[in-house]
Amino acid sequence: MPVEGTTYVVGNTIGTATVACVIATPTATCVDSGLTNGTAYHYKIFSKDSNGNYAATGVVPTGSPFTPIAPTFTTTIANGTNPPSVTLAPGDSITDLDTFTLVTSGNTDSITALTVTLTGTNSFQSLSEVRITSSTGATTYFSAVSNPSSNTVSFSGGTPVPVTTSTATFKVRITPKTHANMPVPPGVSYSVGGTVTSFTSTNGQAGTDPGSATITIDNLSPSGATSVSGSSSNTQVTLNWTTSASSDFSRSVMLRWTGSSAGSEVPTEGTDYTNGNTITTATVACVRTTDAASTVVSGTDGAGTGGCSATALTNGQAYTYKIFQKDSNGNYDVGVAVGTFTPSPTPTTTLGTGSDPVATTIAPGTSATDVDQFTLQTNTGTETVTSVTVNLSTNSGVDLITITNSSDTVLGTASSPTTGSNIISVSGMSVGTSATTFKIRATPFEHNSMPSVPGGAYAITAYVTSWAGSFAHTGTDTNTNALTIDNASSANVTSATGSAGNAQVTTSWTNPVDSDFHSTVVLRRATSAVADVPVEGATYVAGNTIGTATVACVIATPTATCVDSGLTNGTAYHYKAFSKDSNGNYAATGVVPMGSPFTPSLSTFTITSSAGAGGTISPLGVTNAAQGSSQSYTITPDLGYDVATLIIDGSSVATSTSYTFGNVQQNHTIAVTFIQVTPTYTITSTAGTNGTISPLGATVLLQGASQTYTIAPTSGYVVDTLIVDSVSIATSTSHTFTAVTANHTIDVTFSLIPPPPGTFAITATAGANGSITPSGVTIVTQGNNQSYAITPDSGYTVSSITVDGSSVATSTPYIFTNVQTNHTIDATFVALPPGARQPDTGPTRPTTVTFSGKAFPGGKISVIDKQLNIEKIIGQDTLTDTNGSFDISFIGVLQALHSFGIVAKDSAGRSSQSKFFFVDTISSDLTEKDLLLPPTSALEGTQITRGMNAIILGSAVPDYTIHLELDGILIQDMLASKDGTYKFEIPTGTLEFGAHTLRTRQTDPQSKKRSDFSTSRTLTISRLAVVQADLNSDGKIDIRDWSIFLSLWGSKGATGRARIDFNTDGKVDITDFSIFIKTIRKK
């Protein structure tokens, strides 16, 4: 409230209140201006006396608070007087589309933005500009919109539209695009409308712009010309067409191209042309400007008529035309091709004699055959021939005469032609400037339409005498080569005879000497003479019937015998033979063989059956069977047995419990054997000399059992090879077969350390309390040295050394030099006296061992050091080079008696035969140069069927000669390849069944040095068709193999199941099952 005694003026503030008025008496009204419209204001009135005292409470005016409100004005849009609807051409000038008015209810207003919405599908595409103007068009408001992108056109910027309280008129104006910016023919016609649909102003808005004119912008091509045609003549082309049916059709423009095809040129939209104008490679040939729509017109290019050019065209030059129609708005259609025409002089066609067919002979019923060839050729253009006149020497035997092209396409036909002149209508026979070959072809009648036997032969000639067409004609056709239709009967066979046999009759004869003789048909009839004859031209096979007769044989020349089998014994059969020539003509009468009819006789045969132990066959023994009858047998195995083999006439067939001989025509035998169902398997062990294997020989096991073999070399020998089921495996002193499901073999051989030829034995022994090294029998190569180390036990010394029975000095070591005979050495020992020193036993310095030579490229060299019963590998990292060479050294080999073995393994994992060296390193270092190791070898399949090729392959020195021995006999030589590999293919057709030994060696072609032999490989030649199916390796496929197969089929072990992967596709399935079944059936 006011402060007592305070004087205020308008605008003073009292706390949160503002002094709105200070009114002196007697005035009692306050006008508070400058307020914000829309804001609520509260008021309170305080009276004041002349002494500065204010009313205690003040008074709130009725209605407080009060909200000021601004005055409201409206800008209204309305439809003006719209312009008339018109049609424009592309490229026409700006045109009024819409008129609208604007007025404000008070004050003035300014339109700062405005939207025009066009009507008509994609109308905007036809417009280059839309603008808003004053009613006179002098003033443009906003910025004109060029090439609008949609039917909604928005205006802003530039000069805004002014609005006052006086109604003003404004316009929407449009400008069409030019022809060049319109869609190409056939184009489209646009119906453009448009009104103001919104605007932006200060005042409120009211009213609408409801309508406008419709401006048609015509960019639509007129319809094309129809019924176009043309023809050429001398230096000119006449063109015909019917003008466009479009109501706005204006003119025709004809374009001409030199050549056989029209170019891509078209008239430019909106452009008019005159004759002679050029559009790139096209020339304007005709222009017609006064024709009405849908009018038939013509013009001659080269003659100057019908609106066409008067410039003469060039004869022989091809011209191509296309006609274009233009409407009153400058739109052209896409054009209609009239064609290609070549002016030319007067056309002439020449007849000539073609390459006539050689004289030939055909049979009745043969298809159309060439009689004559002729040619037709024009000097210009193309003539269509409508008929050809043919002169025929005779119509005998001729059914049809046809005219064809060179590909035998029929152009015209004359049926039942006459002797002499025949006019034949043709279709599709066109002749051009290149010589065209045509034919006259004759089709003979079928045999049944020819004269009856014995018939005759008819010689035919034909040629063209004239033809019908539109050109002038000249030339002739001649033909002297005849086509002969052969309807003459073949000569009869002669000397026909016959004889009867068991259910068959044999007839024979002498063939006729006719040059066209082809075959003989023999007819048979039971009980009565043959009365029927073959049908002329018909082809028969044995068993066909002709009336009451049956074709017994059809015998082609030169054979002259018929064996007619399958007859009924006891029945009389009559025969007649008919010769036939190559043209289907049969002999007129046929010949009955001498002795006809013939009666076959019946025979009886025996079938002998037998059965082994374990079952029966019924009937048993000899059974008589009538010829052609059947005989069945029942086979019954005893309890615990099954059919093992079923042999029919000496050949094994699939086992079964029954068998039937059908249509018996000879003696037979049937034999059956049986086998116990529970399978057992045999493991056969063998051992070479100088060692044992235990157990030895055949061991019989039940299926699933296991068996261990112990291998013990004799002293001084080692295991050389260990072969299990014909496959060499790593040597060992034991081997176990587990879960046996097939027959097996195990073979072991032993070898000396080393076993070279020309050696002597030195036997070394030692008494108690010491040792001699090496001990036992040592084999020494003649001329070599052999050293022995004699070592007393601790506390002992050498007492005596006896060599070959004579005592020698007790020094160690002892050396045999230049060994030329067998020797013995014996050492004894005695205790040292108390306090005596152990004597020196000799030098122990390390020595160097070096090996070098050749094996094969990429081989891995392993050197094995054998000392008495100790064997160790002292090197296996050296690889041979690309020439197969190697050089390997070992330093630090202790001085002693050593046996070194060298083995090379190729990239396929195959090892060479070991090469041994017996060395005393106590005497000196060892260097072995120019070694030639044996090649590696392996068989692709150790068991194959005789007749197949066996394959042995391996690695050797590149270009070295490889020698192959079979059973100790050299059978083949070959050179190793550049990469050192070799492969022999060995025919087995002449090899005996059973095991054979193969081995190879290599020779240096320069020095002729030979290697030792490779490891021997055993190849088994089997009688079986599928060797893999012999699962127990007993040389046959029977119930035992079937039991093994079923066991492996149900097994989950990959190794076992791999044995029955007969097709080697990596899986065991129904295919492998089928192979086994087919194999066991063929056994």
- Listed in sequence order, the residues at least 6 apart from 433 whose beta carbon sits closer than 8 Å to its beta carbon are 377, 378, 379, 380, 381
pLDDT tens digits, 623-680: 988 777 899 999 998 876 888 899 999 999 888 889 999 988 889 999 999 987 666 6
Coil, helix or strand at residue 591: strand
Query: Residues 48-58: pLDDT tens digits?
Result: 999 999 998 99
Q: Does 838 map to a domain?
A: no
Look at residue 1043 in the predicted model and tell me its pLDDT: 76
Per cent of the chain over pLDDT 90 is 58
Residue 841 domain-assigned? no
194 shares a domain with 89: yes
Quick check: is 546 in a domain? yes
3-state secondary structure of 159: strand
Average pLDDT of the residues in 96-105: 96
Domain count, the chain: 11
* Residues 876, 741 share a domain: no
CB distance 906 to 954 below 8 Å? yes
CA distance 931 to 1010: 10
Q: Is residue 184 part of a domain?
A: yes
Give the DSSP per-residue string, 612-635.
-TTEEEES-EEEEEETT--EEEEE
Q: What is the pLDDT of residues 162-208, one digit of tens each?
A: 999 999 999 999 999 999 999 888 889 999 999 999 999 999 999 99
The torsion region of residue 1033 among left (phi > 0), alpha (psi -120 to 50) and beta comes to left
Strands 204-207, 152-163: pairing is unpaired
Residues 982 and 855 in one domain: no
- Considering the domain architecture, whether residues 66 and 78 belong to the same structural domain is answered as no
Between CA 126 and CA 174 the distance in angstroms is 10
Residues 446, 773: Cα–Cα separation, whole Å: 110
Convert the pLDDT of each residue in 237-248 to its tens digit: 999 999 999 999
CATH of residue 667: 2.60.40
Residue 883, CB-side half-sphere exposure with 13 Å CA sphere: 7
- The better pLDDT of the pair 848, 828 is held by 828
399 shares a domain with 311: no
Distance, CA of 443 to chain centre: 47
| Residue 964 in domain | yes
Angle between helices 1039-1049 and 1070-1082 (to 10 degrees): 170
Structural domain includes residue 593: no
pLDDT tens digit sequence for 524-557 = 999 999 999 999 889 999 999 999 999 999 999 9
pLDDT digits (tens, 9 = 90+) for 741-773: 889 999 999 876 654 556 787 878 888 999 898
Indicate the residue among 486, 502, 520 that finishes a domain: 486
Q: Give kind and range of the element (H or E) at residue 1079.
A: helix 1070-1082
* Interval 264-295: pLDDT, tens: 999 999 999 999 999 999 999 999 999 999 99
pLDDT at 1049 (0 to 100): 75
Position 420 scores a pLDDT of 94
998-1008, pLDDT tens digit by residue?
999 999 999 99
Among 873-877, 1017-1021, 1062-1066, name the one with the lowest average pLDDT: 873-877
Determine, yes or no, domain membership for 590. no
**CATH at 946:** 2.60.40.10
pLDDT at 843: 44
Confidence of residue 1033 (pLDDT cuts 50, 70, 90): low
**Do 164 and 61 belong to one domain?**
no
Residues 503 and 426 in one domain: no
Is the domain of 827 the same as that of 872?
Answer: no
- Tokens 């466009």 sit on residue: 244
What pLDDT digit, counting tens, does each position of 443-471 carry?
999 888 888 777 788 999 999 999 999 99
What average pLDDT does this structure show over 775-797?
84
Domain end, chosen from 676, 698, 729, is at 676
Tell me, yes or no, whether 352 and 477 share the same domain. yes
Arithmetic mean of pLDDT, 1040-1067: 74
Q: Which of 30, 13, 34 is nearest to 64 (CA)?
A: 30
765 and 747 in a single domain? The answer is no
The mean pLDDT value for 343-367 works out to 90
The answer on 921 and 965 residing in a single domain is: no
Whose structure tokens read 């073959």? 534
Q: What is the pLDDT of residues 962-986, one digit of tens each?
A: 999 998 888 889 999 999 999 999 9
Residue after which a domain boundary falls, among 676, 696, 715:
676
Confidence at residue 189, expressed as pLDDT on a 0 to 100 scale: 92
What pLDDT is stored for residue 192 in this prediction? 96
Specify which residues 789 forms β-bridges with.
Answer: 773
Please write the tens of the pLDDT for every residue from 488-529: 888 999 999 999 888 899 999 999 998 899 999 999 999 999
Residue 1040 sits in a domain whose CATH number is 1.10.1330
Residue 385 forms part of a structural domain: yes
Residues 16 and 143 in one domain: no
Query: Would you state the pLDDT for residue 871?
Result: 44
**Residue 814 is part of which domain span?**
759-831
